[in-house]
Structure 1
Amino acid sequence: MIKKSLTVFAAILLIVSCQNDKDSNETPEVVVNENPSTFKEIGTLTIGGTGAAEISAYDETSQKLFTVNNSSANKIDIIDLSDPSKPVLITSIDLVPYNGAANSVATFNGKLAVALESKSNKQEPGKVVVFETSNYALVKEITVGALPDMITYSQDGKFIMTANEGEPNDTYALDPDGSVSIIDVVSGYTVTTLNFASFSNQLDDLKTKGFKIASLTNNFAADIEPEYITVSADSKTAWVTLQENNGVAKIDLTTKKIMQIFPLGFKDYNLAENAIDISDKDATIAFNPWKLKGMFQPDAISNFEVNKIPYFVTANEGDAREYSAFVDVKRINNAAVVLDPIIFPNAAALKTDASMGRLNINTKMGDTDGDGDFDELVGFGARSFSIWNGLTGQLVFDSKNELDKKAFEFGLYDDARSDDKGAEPEAVCVTKMGDKQILFVGLERADAFMVYDVSNPMAPKHLQTIKTGDAPEGLLFIPASKSPTKRSLVVVSSEGDGTVKIFQPDLD
């Protein structure tokens, strides 16, 4: 428990990661004595079934919540949040006229930006549609890269950015470049879309450090799949997760150029501190070390600064590719997975369901000597959150197996996911509360989020575990300075059951 008065300021929003709650108007600092280890549910609203509550953004000017709803109709649900204990669904924005499917939303100073993939063919360019939050009038439509999966405003509101995943179609006949679009709001919404082709000459070096390029075509620019973006407080730098590729890209927003790709390497599950449960068919939950590596493959990303050093935090979810023309995942017990008999002399025993047999591994990695069998085993995701140096991309901290173990301690661990990604960290958001840096981590398969104090990036402290709706997809932090109640709020959108839940900490 933190026994100290907390000043809540700065706005940070997480939509499967964290964006900042941006507003160009200066908001007076609000001093509230809150304890970030005491968040409790104060309100809930069910807006539909599966897919009904994916990502949410809050508009301070109207005290409304804008939530992506793809359950039955393509729309943005609008929720009155003026009384967070009694959220009310008031209307929706119909997106059918815009010929796109919504993936993400962001707000800034009375404007709502929506990322839409092409409805007719998601390999075609997507678009960003901007609305007024007051009357939902259309402001602008802007063409961006293929399959914009996430959208955010820069801290100063001058830029809108989209992570354009550029997924292939099922046969790989169409495989657009993965890209990042930077929309210059102050210059009439002009757009610059960046791809990663210029880094193809670095492939060999990147691969030695754990970066993954593997597809039917092995086309570098097309194989890159940007997932999520976080923007620095000074709006000069962005970091973008390249989930399937196991990397993070760093972008200079002043020059609008991709500066670096950070390959994230591997996690060693043979260490006791990284022990995990890898079978859903062993009739127990047991965390053990295994001769196994894991790609970090982050989904969401957030950033913060301590002592003038920038850090980014990743939710290491993991993801495979499964198309009719290309599949990179199989269980170890599959007959096509042949283990090197020298490295794995007990291969037959390892392939049983009670051992490693049920685990999903990447089949395009691990044959280090090219003889057709697996010399090492590489899984998807790291079942953790990690903190990285924003300047160098070096790992500063990894939560090891703490997310799974704490989910188990709280009775929330789903053993049916042991063979895949465990508790499955999907979302991260760091915000300043008083003099503390507070991290929220959303766990899609544990139906929970956890709260950490990351003021010391090398030694985060777990504060709380909180139950949510089914499959939380979006986490949104609303600081006291912008909250309807002048108290900090965390809003969780859960796509499994279509619920939106609001949480508030106790006064200290």
Structure 2
Amino acid sequence: MRTLHRLAAATSAVALSAAVVAPMTAAAPPAHAKAHGRSAAVASGDAAGRSVELTPAGTHETGVFGESAAEIPAFDPTTGRLFVVNAEKGAIDVLRVGADGAPTAETVLSAEGLATADGSITDEGATVNSVAVSGGVMAMAVEAADKTGLGWVVFFDTETLEYLGGVRAGALPDSIAFSPNGEYAVVANEGEPADDFSVDPEGTISVISVPKNVQQFSRLSQDDVRTVDFRAYDEGTALPEGVRVFGPDVQVPEGQEEAGYVARNLEPEYVTIGDTGRTAYVSIQEANAIVAIDLKSASIEDFWALQLTDWSQDGVLDVSNEDDAITLQNWPVMGVPMPDGIDSYRWRGQDLVVSANEGDSREWGDFVDAERVKDLELCKAEYPDAKALQKKGALGRLNVITDLGYDAERECYSQLHAFGGRSFSIYTADGERLFDSAGMIEEQIAALIEAGELPEWAFNANNDETPSFDSRSDDKGVEPESVVVGRIQGRTYAFVGLERIGGVMVFDITNPTQATYVDYVNERNWDAEGDDAEAGLGDMGAEGLTFVPAHESPSGVALLIVANEVSGSTTVYEVNPTPVK
């Protein structure tokens, strides 16, 4: 049976963060342990006692396991339709959300064979990477059959589901978002290298001026697309300090415009647009950076590297998958956030950016930018206890970044950098970090286990097999993949999707300098065993999230929609305000 898991207020992550300064090993609950029903949501820091609680309204199952059959969801309030990226089909699954909040299948929209404004036709075998909705229009980001080729953005009427038209975008268009007024669609063209690293397209951002209504889409032209690139950083403009550029220097694919090393190396990942509609913020994941785009001029407004987590003092984490225990402690390692999903909200008249600090390595052809600590030469001055640190029960198993922290003169590593922050962060629009959850998420899972709300094998579990206890501790832990911000009864919440263990952790971020834990839900079936669809594993691999405010919801209650990449399932939760008892 699928279960919801929550932690009672007495074991909040905030309290744990202050208390855990040495290894913490959680006692194993009985093998049959399940959730103990609903416990009170942890206090959100609201003096009025308001908080939220998530209740599953329904799930749509594709029945396809491990093939990315449910990735990114987008909801249209005018029709009640839910559009979900199904990469296995290379299409969009069209669902309808009923008055009870439950999703049901309606039809499928293909991205193949569509004529677009530049005279090209979307490929047979094209893949849909992202979807967004605004004003009765649905936009898809479409990747070419050869991912290094130029992709497309195509538009559909959400009412009739008729194709409205499309335009050419950059290579591997990934995340797409509409500005709040629907004036622009912005897509991050990731430009990943070929799988054998033979060629590398440039990473760009397309800013598309969208017709004012469905009837005017006949006027859509390629001239409505403006491209933001990073070529200036190959032509004398100084790259902001800390922005990571690395790896082989290979040419663009044949037939594409020439671009320098930096322009090819930077890979835009995820787009969010501020509430004013003036600025788009785009994560550049592997570069550990965010770029701000002025939409009116389609130009770079700001660009900054993200602050690292100092795991020797900023939080605790488990770094070994072979210590047979939940061991949370400080370690002499820096965490490099490298966010995937980001979102934004207004606070005191300014944009804030919220990031899910997943981390990502590059493994293309013979190039790999990760190695385990046990296989590195550590500098004796900085690591006098290197031999002990490199044991498998210590840092030995941890995967770290090979191009950071290396002292070429001494031929050793003077500092270690781990992939991801295992956290979410909140930044101002000019890159000042107001909050980082550091080890709170990993601690919260450990506390749930200690309280009997989760079985022990949930800790740092993988997303395609149960049981898989501790299997991700040597890599990126819970791996926060995505984040979406929602406002309920005057308070602001961050819903953080956890790719590996699955589920969503909720934080109150009304005060962005003092974010607090609220709730955790997970529809994974911890009683099942196996690594395929037949095992009945439940929701696995939370990938994309979308929040629907109560006034746009078919049920009249705010909704959180979670697309689960591994299980191919999409679950709709009702988000109910509830007083803290």
- 1:279-358 correspondence runs (5 A): 279-334=320-375, 337-358=376-397
1:39 equivalent in alignment to 2:50: no
Q: Which residue in 2 is equivalent to 1:444?
A: 499
Structure 1 residue 205: deviation in Å? 6.0
What SS class does the counterpart of residue 446 from structure 2 fall into?
A: helix
1:109 equivalent in alignment to 2:141: no
1:376 aligned to which of 415, 421, 426:
415
Distance of aligned partners of 1:507 and 1:396 in 2 relative to their CA distance in 1, 3 Å threshold = closer
Structure 1 residue 35: deviation in Å? 5.7
2:227 aligned to which of 162, 173, 193:
193
**Which residue type is aligned with residue 55 of structure 2?**
K
CA distance in 2, matches of 1:250, 1:137: 33
Q: Which residue in 2 is equivalent to 1:19?
A: none
What SS class does the counterpart of residue 409 from structure 1 fall into?
A: helix
**Which residue type is aligned with residue 124 of structure 1?**
G
Q: Which residue in 2 is equivalent to 1:251?
A: 293
- 1:43-192 correspondence runs (5 A): 43-49=58-64, 50=66, 51-71=68-88, 73-97=89-113, 98-99=122-123, 100-119=126-145, 121-186=146-211, 188=220, 190-192=224-226
Structure 1 residue 341: deviation in Å? 2.3
CA distance in 1, matches of 2:170, 2:344: 24
RMSD of aligned C-alpha atoms?
A: 2.0
- 1:214-229 correspondence runs (5 A): 214-217=246-249, 219-229=261-271
CA distance in 1, matches of 2:234, 2:513: 33
Q: Which residue in 2 is equivalent to 1:435?
A: 490
Structure 1 residue 36: deviation in Å? 4.4
CA distance in 2, matches of 1:350, 1:237: 45
- 1:405-484 correspondence runs (5 A): 405-410=443-448, 411=454, 412-414=458-460, 415-468=470-523, 469-484=539-554
Structure 1 residue 502: deviation in Å? 1.2
- More displaced, 86-95 or 465-474? 86-95
What SS class does the counterpart of residue 406 from structure 2 fall into?
A: coil
Tell me the alpha carbon deviations over residues 418-475 of structure 1, each in whole angstroms, 9 at most, x when there is no partner: 0111111111111222221121111111212111111111001211111142011011
* Conservation of the 8 A alpha-carbon contact between 1:407 and 1:446: no
**Which residue type is aligned with residue 44 of structure 1?**
T
- More displaced, 163-172 or 315-324? 163-172
Q: Which residue in 2 is equivalent to 1:22?
A: none
Q: Which residue in 1 is equivalent to 2:526?
A: none
2:245 aligned to which of 204, 213, 219:
213
2:318 aligned to which of 239, 254, 277:
277
1:489 aligned to which of 530, 554, 559:
559
CA distance in 1, matches of 2:153, 2:50: 38
Distance of aligned partners of 1:229 and 1:250 in 2 relative to their CA distance in 1, 3 Å threshold = same
Structure 1 residue 224: deviation in Å? 0.3
What SS class does the counterpart of residue 551 from structure 2 fall into?
A: coil
* Conservation of the 8 A alpha-carbon contact between 2:335 and 2:418: yes
Distance of aligned partners of 1:310 and 1:333 in 2 relative to their CA distance in 1, 3 Å threshold = same
**Which residue type is aligned with residue 248 of structure 2?**
L
* Conservation of the 8 A alpha-carbon contact between 2:101 and 2:554: no
- More displaced, 174-183 or 197-206? 197-206
Structure 1 residue 173: deviation in Å? 2.5
CA distance in 1, matches of 2:520, 2:275: 28
Q: Output the TM-score relative to the length of structure 1.
A: 0.89
Tell me the alpha carbon deviations over residues 191-219 of structure 1, each in whole angstroms, 9 at most, x when there is no partner: 0111112134678763xx43210010181
* Conservation of the 8 A alpha-carbon contact between 2:102 and 2:572: no
* Conservation of the 8 A alpha-carbon contact between 2:70 and 2:565: yes
Larger radius of gyration: 2
Q: Which residue in 2 is equivalent to 1:7?
A: none
What SS class does the counterpart of residue 481 from structure 2 fall into?
A: strand
Structure 1 residue 229: deviation in Å? 0.9
Q: Output the TM-score relative to the length of structure 2.
A: 0.78
Structure 1 residue 34: deviation in Å? 12
What SS class does the counterpart of residue 367 from structure 2 fall into?
A: coil
* Conservation of the 8 A alpha-carbon contact between 1:103 and 1:148: yes
- More displaced, 45-54 or 294-303? 45-54
* Conservation of the 8 A alpha-carbon contact between 1:115 and 1:148: yes
CA distance in 2, matches of 1:261, 1:296: 16
* Conservation of the 8 A alpha-carbon contact between 2:323 and 2:393: yes
- More displaced, 78-87 or 99-108? 78-87
Structure 1 residue 339: deviation in Å? 1.1
CA distance in 2, matches of 1:242, 1:46: 32
Which consecutive residues of structure 1, in runs of 5 or more, have no partner in the other structure?
3-32
What SS class does the counterpart of residue 208 from structure 2 fall into?
A: strand
Distance of aligned partners of 1:324 and 1:39 in 2 relative to their CA distance in 1, 3 Å threshold = same
Q: Which residue in 2 is equivalent to 1:241?
A: 283
Distance of aligned partners of 1:507 and 1:213 in 2 relative to their CA distance in 1, 3 Å threshold = closer
Structure 1 residue 265: deviation in Å? 3.2
CA distance in 1, matches of 2:238, 2:309: 20
| Sequence identity (%) | 33
Structure 1 residue 64: deviation in Å? 0.9
Distance of aligned partners of 1:70 and 1:492 in 2 relative to their CA distance in 1, 3 Å threshold = same
* Conservation of the 8 A alpha-carbon contact between 1:148 and 1:163: yes
Which consecutive residues of structure 2, in runs of 5 or more, have no partner in the other structure?
1-7, 10-47, 114-121, 212-218, 251-260, 449-453, 461-469, 524-538
Tell me the alpha carbon deviations over residues 308-351 of structure 1, each in whole angstroms, 9 at most, x when there is no partner: 122111111000111114211111122xx211122222222222
Structure 1 residue 234: deviation in Å? 1.3
